[in-house]
Structure 1
Amino acid sequence: MPKVLEVCVDSFESAVTALGAGAGRLELCSSLIEGGLTPTPGLLIQIQHANSAKVPIYCMLRCRPGNFIYSQEEIEIMVEDAKILKQRGADGFVFGALLPNGDVDMKKCREIIKACFPLSVTFHRAFDFCRRPTIEVEVVIDLGFTRLLTSGQQKNAQQGVKLIKKLIDQVGNRIIIIPAGGITKDNLKFIIDNTEATEYHGSFKVEKKEEEEGENKESEIVLGLKNGPRYVTDHELVAEALQILRSE
């Protein structure tokens, strides 16, 4: 079975790069620097115009940074976002919600899945904060999620291969477990060899060097992370990762 590479992007530039390099699916977000938030409909529409190969685009549903314990009002925000993005042609969604004790919040997940229906929904790396991963993966399956992103509850997927492999063996073909978190061309083969997963997830980004704006280079005015780095998907890194997957 051919292995799938899902590339996580948060800009038009990164999306076009990932598509051009041959990504099998996009996870579309905004603000990856904050772990990924809900993208705008305008961004989705513009990427669709460039998506001549009709590569599936899954949209993140996450209305704020921080933890994954959501109020009812926040769930209602994401329900409305899902409805709008579905109308604009999203192919699937990526979402996760937890209870304060570290269990999956079944009630709130059901609300989101209902809003996304009939599209596929991936449970994102909120799973890496679950206190009982081998039990909660069964809850995720029962709720109707079709995929699960995880680093194996470690800093990155390379360090988490033991749990990832355990989950893959446990679930069989009932859900697709996708290694995610810190995947690079340098550790991808190790992760493949030690998990035997069929799908993999990464951003494959590099820092983009940009010119300062205008003549006011020494200004003390800062808007958000204006003076911080901006990262974009790198064509060569995606292409190299795909070559590794194809050679396995």
Structure 2
Amino acid sequence: MPTLEICVEDAVGLQTAQRPGVSRIELCSALALGGLTPSAGLMHLAAKSTVPVYAMIRPREGGFVFAEAEIDQMLADIDAARAAGLAGVVLGASLDDHTLDIATLKRLSEAAGSMGRTLHRVFDLTPNPLMAVDQAVELGFERILTSGQAISAPKGHSVLKNIVHHAAGRIEIMAGSGVRVGNARDLLRDTGVTSLHASCRGPSVGQACRVWDLGFGRLASRTSGRIIDQMLAILAEETASADA
């Protein structure tokens, strides 16, 4: 059966995503910025999850060329994720030319030890994605999260298909960015990916305009159990169709 990873950014989302059939939770903060490292408190809560949780390790928004001080911060965050008892971490780092920063990724991977590791969408900036697949395999990553180097996975379906073919089962290719109930089935059928990554968020209700008028931010959406269930139903239908 294809697998589903849910990315969440808060304690309510973490609770909502713990549903039978969900394979993994990616724990972040600031999903609107592409996901940043979650707080120590949220990691502590996530350790009690019934679904394996991987923490995003990303110290700031923007690109993935990190200063030494930022790498030190990432190493400390990996230590915090391991101390909390999380199953894995989500990592990425690049050089100025957007190729993978192998030296930094080795340091971060060594710090993670036996924890599971996902290479995040730094992959989508690499000039040679097939070479980056080989490098991720050599570094021991379990999977690559990618949109097929496009603004969304549906727009990157042809590259995703090529990546899946090149990976040839050596590493899991997980399609993410813009994955919705309306396109999940086509992504699975057209690209050959067997894993989807989605936020499954629906509109948030009950927040007064005064909150964002004073600069506290607008909570426009939250993790939706209904949408997760719809995604899981699609995956189950695709499995049944393949087995028929």
Give the ranges of 4+ consecutive aligned residues of structure 1 lying more than 3 Å apart after TM superposition. 217-221
1:139 counterpart residue number: 135
1:221 counterpart residue number: 214
1:108 to 2:104 alignment: yes
Q: CA deviation at 1:230?
A: 3.4
1:235 counterpart residue number: 225
1:92 to 2:88 alignment: yes
Q: CA deviation at 1:78?
A: 0.4
2:16 counterpart residue number: 17
Q: CA deviation at 1:197?
A: 1.5
Normalising by structure 1, report the TM-score: 0.91
The one-character-per-residue Cα deviations of 1:8-65 (angstroms, maximum 9, x if unpaired) are: 000111111111364211000011111100011211222333x2xx311000000001
2:197 counterpart residue number: 201
1:192 counterpart residue number: 188
Q: Count how many residue pairs are aligned between Structure 1 and Structure 2.
A: 238
2:242 counterpart residue number: none
After superposition, residues 1-248 of structure 1 pair within 5 angstroms as 2-20=1-19, 22-49=21-48, 51=49, 54-212=50-208, 217=210, 221-223=214-216, 225=217, 228-248=218-238
How large is the Cα RMSD of the aligned pairs? 1.7
1:222 maps to a residue whose letter is: G
Change (3 A) 1:157 1:243: same
Change (3 A) 1:189 1:132: same
Is the 1:21–1:239 Cα contact (8 Å) retained in structure 2?
no
Change (3 A) 1:210 1:115: same
Is the 1:21–1:238 Cα contact (8 Å) retained in structure 2?
no
Separation in 2, partners of 1:30, 1:74: 17
Is the 1:7–1:202 Cα contact (8 Å) retained in structure 2?
yes
Larger RCO (CA under 8 A, 6+ residues apart): 1
Separation in 1, partners of 2:207, 2:98: 44
Extract unaligned runs of 5+ from structure 1: none
1:84 maps to a residue whose letter is: A
Change (3 A) 1:210 1:113: same
3-state SS in 2 of match to 1:20: coil
Q: CA deviation at 1:153?
A: 0.7
Return 57-66 or 135-144, whichever deviates more.
135-144
3-state SS in 2 of match to 1:77: helix
Separation in 1, partners of 2:207, 2:58: 31
Q: State the percentage of identical aligned residues.
A: 31
Change (3 A) 1:218 1:205: closer
Q: CA deviation at 1:134?
A: 1.3
1:232 maps to a residue whose letter is: R
Separation in 1, partners of 2:213, 2:116: 46
Change (3 A) 1:129 1:222: same
1:94 maps to a residue whose letter is: V
